[in-house]
Amino acid sequence: MSKQSMRDETERLVKEALERKTVTIKQGQTRIETKCGKCGAPNRVSAAPGQTRVAYTCKECGEKQRTL
Ligand SMILES: [Zn+2]
């Protein structure tokens, strides 16, 4: 396989991956910034659109809770 055809192949694969991504992309995932109710550490939680109370586990102390 020549370098040129290898490059073409790579480009094709990247293009395909991008096209696939646009189809399966998750729409409107939002990030909620919240503070742990136990230790006060800031946590970033990804949530589905319209969801405000999302269960998460504090990355600092491991406390399971919900965002407000
Ligand atoms: Zn915590």
Report the separation in Å between the CA atom of 53 and the middle of ligand 1, taken as the mean of its atom positions. Answer: 17
Report the separation in Å between the CA atom of 32 and the middle of ligand 1, taken as the mean of its atom positions. Answer: 15
For 33-57, letters b (16+ CB in 10 Å) and e give: ebebeeeeeebebebeeeeeeeebe
Across residues 33-61, what is the average pLDDT?
Answer: 93
When pLDDT is cut at 50, 70 and 90, the band that residue 26 belongs to is: low
Residue-number span of the structural domain to which 60 is assigned: 3-66
Report the separation in Å between the CA atom of 48 and the middle of ligand 1, taken as the mean of its atom positions. Answer: 22
Secondary structure element (H or E) that encloses residue 42, with its range: strand 42-47
Report the separation in Å between the CA atom of 56 and the middle of ligand 1, taken as the mean of its atom positions. Answer: 10
| pLDDT (0 to 100) of residue 52 | 82
Number of domains in the chain: 1
Report the separation in Å between the CA atom of 66 and the middle of ligand 1, taken as the mean of its atom positions. Answer: 12
Which is more confident, 61 or 18?
Answer: 61
